[in-house]
Structure 1
Amino acid sequence: MAREECKALLDALNKTTACYHHLVLTVGGSADSQNLREELQKTRQKARELAVATGARLTVVLRDRSLVAEERAEFERLWVAFSGCLDLLEADMQRALALGAAFPLHAPRRPLVRTGVAGGSSAVAARALSARSLRHEAEGDFDVVDLPQLEREILQVGEMIDDMEMRVNVPRWTVQARQTAGAELLSSASAGASSAGAMSLEERSGSCDPSKALAATVFSAVVLVAVALALCVAKLS
């Protein structure tokens, strides 16, 4: 039960971290907006909550002295995967902080990139005066409040990583993987090569028609006879 629970938590954390990574890549681009920044905030908060729950569950299990060797090896693999998720989350949060500072939402100066807004003045004004835009303006500058909070959360994630290493000492280089690196790629490549070879063999075997082979043999014999007669005529002349 503990292993399945840890796997479920880790899977949810992995998906949330991947979602946050893709959202961070759009900061500063034409799709950047306050809606995106709010979604980034919600996603990273969910990732931090899952990280706390996953870390606490794995810590309790790995500090159990009665854990058998096989189960401990499995939980250590989960621990290494969990550590990797935290490292990626911290790196993406730092990237979001840098991009958010470089591309503020509401700045008096000209933005560094074009946001993709185009059209006549009336159309642009209609979009700018939408209900959601008015609500965002009434709430004030979202990034002014969120960026300092993001900076504090980055420090908290770093402290979480350090605390993990202090509570559970599982060096990554000591954990053995179930399969060699790139085994899935190699298996798919070998499967593709074998299928291609089978298709090529079928094509070669399918093109081997007895009547065509007989015709080719007769044609070769005729060519050889013609060459021999030409040599004889050349010698007699």
Structure 2
Amino acid sequence: MVKDECKTLLNALNKVSACYRHLVTCAGGTSDSQNLREELKKTRRKAQVLAVANKNKLTTILKDKSISKDDRAEFERLWVLFSTCMEVLEIDMRRALELGQEFPLSAPTKRLIQTGVVGGTSAVAARAMNIQNMKYEEGNNIDTADLNDLEQEINEVGEMIYEMDMKVNVLQWTVEAKQGPGSELKSAVTAGASSLAVVCANGGRNEKLCDTNKVFAGTMFSAVLIIAIVLTVFIVKFA
């Protein structure tokens, strides 16, 4: 149960952090607006709440000396994923601060980045945060106050990351991944090769199909090769 709770919390943090990254890419662009800045603020604060919940849960568990070796390995893996998510969140918050300072809403004459993105972003934030109707007061400019809050929150996230490193001694390079790098791609290729092998091994009609495909592929390759040789001869002759 505890392991499932930690995975659920981490999954929620990942979703909200991904939503925040999406919203940050719109700051300073043609789709930037008062609503976007409010959504950025609400989304990053939701991410920070989830981050604190993840930190408290995982810290308590990893400090427990009575958990089994296998469980500790799994929780350490979750801790590494959580730490990485926090680092990405901090980077995105710093990017949001830079874009907010460079493109303040109070200066409408400032040239915006032509990103090609238009329209609202409320739907994305609502899906990640389970909020159906995100509406804000148009007359309430949040430039200065929000940027000051954001700067303070960046420092708080940085302090949280430092505190995490001090409280829990988990060396990232010692944590083993459940899957090797590129395992998803390898499994897809293997599955495709296995399917082809099954088709060719079925005999009868399937075997004839495989032979026909081989002949067709060989013919196409020969045709392309001949055309390439002919073109090369013409180029050399008339050059």
Matched, 1:195 2:198: no
Q: 1:99 to 1:207 in 2, by over 3 A?
A: closer
CA distance in 1, matches of 2:210, 2:115: 59
Q: Return the alpha-carbon distance in structure 2 between the equivalents of residues 207 and 91 of structure 1.
A: 52
CA separation in 2, counterparts of 1:96 and 1:35?
15
SS of aligned partner of 1:136 = coil
Distance 1:203 1:161, change over 3 A: same
CA distance in 2, matches of 1:104, 1:148: 13
The 8 Å contact of residues 32 and 115 in structure 1, kept in 2 or not, is answered as no
Encode CA deviations 1:83-131: one digit per residue, 9 max, x unaligned. 0110110010011111111111121643344699xxxxxxxxxxxxxxx
| Structure 2 partner of 1:73 | 73
Query: Aligned to 2:208, which of 205, 208, 221?
Result: 205
* Matching residue of 2:222: none
**1:175 corresponds to:** 175
- Residues 193 and 27 of structure 1, relative CA distance in 2, 3 Å threshold: farther
Shift of 1:4: 1.1
Instruction: Tell me if the contact between 2:59 and 2:168 (Cα under 8 Å) persists in the aligned partners.
Output: yes
The answer on whether the counterparts of 1:13 and 1:47 sit within 8 Å (CA) in structure 2 is yes
**What TM-score results when the alignment is normalised by the length of structure 1?**
0.73
Aligned sequence identity (%): 53
- Give the greater-gyration-radius structure (CA): 1
Query: 2 CA distance for matches of 1:96 and 1:5?
Result: 30
CA contact (8 A) 1:28 1:99 kept: yes
SS of 2:75's equivalent in the other structure is helix
Q: Which residue is 1:136 aligned to?
A: 138
Letter in 1 for 2:53: A
Q: Is the 8 A contact 2:200 2:210 kept in 1?
A: no
Provide the residue aligned with 1:163 in structure 2: 163
TM-score w.r.t. structure 2 length? 0.73
In 2, the alpha carbon distance for the partners of 1:196 and 1:101 equals 56
Structure 1 30/108 Cα, relative in aligned 2: closer, same or farther at 3 Å? closer
Q: Are the counterparts in 2 of residues 59 and 167 from structure 1 also a CA contact under 8 Å?
A: yes
Aligned residue identity for 2:65: R
**Alpha carbons 2:103, 2:110 under 8 Å: kept:** no
* Aligned equivalent of 1:36: 36
Given the superposition, is the C-alpha separation of residues 186 and 10 from structure 1 closer, same or farther in structure 2, using an over 3 Å criterion? Answer: same
The amino acid across from 2:76 in the alignment is: E
Greater displacement, 48-57 / 142-151: 142-151
Structure 2: 5+ residue stretches without partners: 117-134, 213-239
Q: Is the 8 A contact 1:77 1:175 kept in 2?
A: yes
1:49 aligns with 2:76: no
| Separation in 2, partners of 1:36, 1:200 | 55
Between Structure 1 and Structure 2, how many residues are aligned?
A: 191
Amino acid at match of 1:34: Q
